Amino acid sequence: MKKQKKNVNLISLDDTRFKITYIFFLLVILSLFGRLVNLQVFSASDLQQKAKLIQSSKTRPLKTRRSIVDRNNRLIAYDKPLFKLWAHPKYFKFPGDTSNKIRGIEEIVEKLSPILGFKDEFLLKKFNDEISGVKLADQISEDKARKIKSLGISGLDLIKYSQRYYPQGELYSNLVGFVNDENKGSAGLELHLDDLIKKLNKANSIKKGGDGTPLPDNSGPRDFINDYKSLTLTIDSKLQKASFKALSKQVTDWKAKRGFAVVMDVNNGEILSLASIPSYDPHKFWEYDPELFKGWYSQDLFEPGSTFKPINLALALEEKVIHKDGFIDDKGNVNVGGWTLWNWNKKGNGYIDYPKVLQVSSNVGMVKIMQNLEPSIYWDRLRNLGINKNLETDLFESTPGELKRKEVFVNQLIEPAVASFGKGFSISPLKLVQLHAALANGGFEVIPHVTLSSKDLIKKNTRTQLFSSNVSRIVTEWMESVVENGSGAGTRIEGYRIAGKTGTSQKAKNGIYTSKKVCSFVATLPVENPKYVVLVLIDEPSKAYAYGSTVAVPVAKEIIESLIVIEKIPPQFKDNKIVKKP
């Protein structure tokens, strides 16, 4: 059955309605077009800027520094993140407050006081009727900063910054130094190795979508990697503490001006401890005399005195002007070019061998020994040791030693004579350590250094040979006799073979020797296979009977005892017999 079609009568649109509808939609279209033109043309730059602000952010790296740690990763210096709290009272609001509501200062203080640990009255005084930019507190910890942020109070700004801390206080200050209020290295390694210690963090732009999703950009693969490197020192904190304690006590007991003690590996130049007294608190550096901030052990010079006698004997052996089994006649004084030179006690020692020359520290014996060496050759040998050159190291910049001009040294007989027992020229304490390290390790020059990354800072050890291995062995054994039977007896330790030499040198002022002294002792161990050199130097002890044997030796023994324990050095004797290596 077919459906019947239904006829629909169409009603014509009223012309007025049509025109109104047409005009309405035309206006809508024109409005949209106008809006589009405004967005695309007139407001484009503003909108683009707003979009960048929403979609991108810039990281602001702090001026931070790498941590400094010892050879066992113990902290010596590190950066601690802290915060400054600024207040802007005209913007004070609590979460949920309406836009026109401003909270009172008292309400804000009531919330902050328990967190900051300040009394309300103290914080209220900070505002002083200021409506913006009021600094309320400094050195706020991360924990307290989190608590302040959790309050959600508008008008409070926490500014993050970094502050340097030295957990071991004055123990390392003469070596590591300190940073100033702007976190810039101002002394010690903090200054000398500033470029190495500063972190490499940089500002980076981060792009995000409307929902916070990161967007692709042109950042490099390493742009957002934090710098977590540390500066590792060769120092052992346990040995450093033991050295510092022993040295500090002796400087105090003898009412000395200052003291220095160092332990160094003779084979590679690594410094295991470096203590200097007096020291200072690096957190309060402004309270101290700036003179304390310099590394005087590499910058100040002194006449080494008798601690240089083993070096001179090595030079004489190298030139074959003396022989291992030789003797010398010591009558207590000797005349050189019209000058009479005496032994330290003005007593003669008779007909003695070379080990005995060191044991009794005979000046007369040394003069007669070195008179066998041509002055010009002697001067050349001293120059080849680098006496008058800068000492290359990653420590403070060093001061070159002072050596008389060759013409003076050669033509005035008194000059090589006094040089034979360590007078008439000057070197830094650290240079003396370097020379004795070479004497101990078979004759090779090593570079004293305190950073494990020293290969990037200073040249590799040159392996320049200053002495032959045979000469080094002979002189080291002669030095052992000083500990066994001479002025270094105070460092004898049962079961261990230790070589050493004391020194007591008068200080000169304006070319005239004074009553002020420098007392020193240098030791190497173990004798059969030397690995460590120890130097103790105490400047201007003010009590009577101040000698290397009475002032420096006791400190050296304490340091050596600690070194044996920390480095687990096995004894070389058992039941009075030398322990044979397997």
Q: What is the residue type of 113?
A: S
Q: What is the residue type of 447?
A: I
Q: Which two tokens stand for residue 419?
A: 């040089």
Residue 304's nearest CA partner among 296, 293, 312 is 312
In the block, residue with structure tokens 């002020």: 516
What is the length of the chain?
A: 582
- Name the active-site residue from 173, 273, 276, 306: 306
CB 349 within 8 A of CB 330: yes
The beta strand positions in 442-572, using DSSP E, are 499-509, 512-525, 532-539
Cα-Cα end-to-end distance for the chain: 121
- Report DSSP state, residue 42: I
Bridge partner residues of 504 (DSSP): 519
> H or E element: which one contains 485?
helix 469-485
Using a 10 angstrom Cβ sphere, with 0-12 exposed, 13-18 middle and 19 or more buried, the burial of residue 75 is middle
* CA gap 389, 370 in Å, rounded: 23
Q: What is the residue type of 399?
A: T
Q: CA 547, 343, 533, 455 torsion: positive or negative?
A: positive
Q: Give the HSE-up count for residue 107: Cα atoms under 13 Å, Cβ half-sphere.
A: 14
What does the radius of gyration of the chain's CA atoms come to, in whole angstroms? 38
Residue 114, φ and ψ in degrees, nearest 5: -60, -30
Could you confirm whether 505 is annotated as catalytic? no
Using a 10 angstrom Cβ sphere, with 0-12 exposed, 13-18 middle and 19 or more buried, the burial of residue 258 is buried
Burial 451-480 (b: 16+ CB within 10 A, else e): beebeeebeebeeeebbeeebbbbbbebbb
CA angle 490, 491, 492 (to 5 degrees): 95
* Active site amino acids: 306
